[in-house]
Amino acid sequence: MVTLFVFYIHTVAAVYAFTDQCQEEGVGAGTLAVAFMGIVFSVGWSISTFILKFLLSEKGFGMYFNRDAISLAVLTAGEAVFYYLYLKGMKKKGPTSP
């Protein structure tokens, strides 16, 4: 259940990133934003799973919150902080005038 919710959040975020970048800069930028999110997701999931293998057993905290679900939850929290700081920095730059 947790896993489904996390994947749903990532799907909604990818659609938002694509439409936002597509409206601002075009289809290429939207595709690049989704690809960037995919790379961050896959690398982050691998790293969080690797770290949690040393800290938790495979059962985790129950049937719905096992080690894999916990690694996805940790990944989502880390991504939320990363994207917040990343997008906050992008909004400050803004377009430059000649």
pLDDT digits 0-9 by tens, 53-76: 888 777 767 666 788 888 888 899
Predicted local confidence at residue 2, as pLDDT? 81
pLDDT tens per residue, range 21-50: 898 888 998 999 899 999 999 999 999 989
| 19: its two tokens | 């439409």
Q: How far apart are CA 69 and CA 49, in angstroms?
A: 10
Q: How far apart are CA 32 and CA 71, in angstroms?
A: 25
Segments making up each domain of the chain, as ranges: 15-89
Tell me, what DSSP letter sits at residue 98? -
Say which residue the tokens 């938790």 belong to.
Answer: 56
Contact 33, 17 (CB under 8 A): yes
Residue 26 has phi, psi (to 5 degrees) of 120, 175
